[in-house]
Amino acid sequence: MTFQEFWKAYLKAHSKSATRLGHYFATLVGASGVVVSILTGQWYWVVITIACGYVIAILSHWLVEGNQPLIKVNAFYGAVSDIRMLFLCMTGQLNKEYTKLGITNKGWCAGQQGSSNL
């Protein structure tokens, strides 16, 4: 599976805004562990916070989206896609990406006009 194929499947699996919010939080938890580890020299924080991030992201699939996470397909592509999705949300481009790929967005995206539901 190419990254572009994975990316489309990834966005389909994250069609609800609450699922995306869970992933944004999970990504920030993992990134904070990297920063804490660098600042303190205690590398176990990377493992703990990335593991917590994965748990949060997986639970968002089961409890919110009602689907299976794509971690078994390609964990590396999944991590890259989490960061890409967060970046597109922060820059207001995520809804455009959904539209470009012909995927139904079942919730709010930054940059989306006329919608405020989470």
CA distance 106 to 65: 10
**What's the pLDDT score for residue 115?**
46
- Percent pLDDT > 70 in the chain is 91
Encode pLDDT of 72-95 as tens digits: 889 899 989 999 999 998 898 998
Question: Could you list the residue range(s) of the whole structural domain that residue 93 is in?
Answer: 14-100
Encode pLDDT of 39-67 as tens digits: 999 999 999 999 999 999 999 999 998 89
pTM of the model: 0.81
Give 53 or 110, the one with higher predicted confidence.
Answer: 53
Alpha carbon distances (Å) from 32 to 48, 59, 66, 74, 89: 11, 20, 28, 23, 19
Overall domain count for the chain: 1
Q: Within a domain: residue 5?
A: no
Q: Within a domain: residue 29?
A: yes
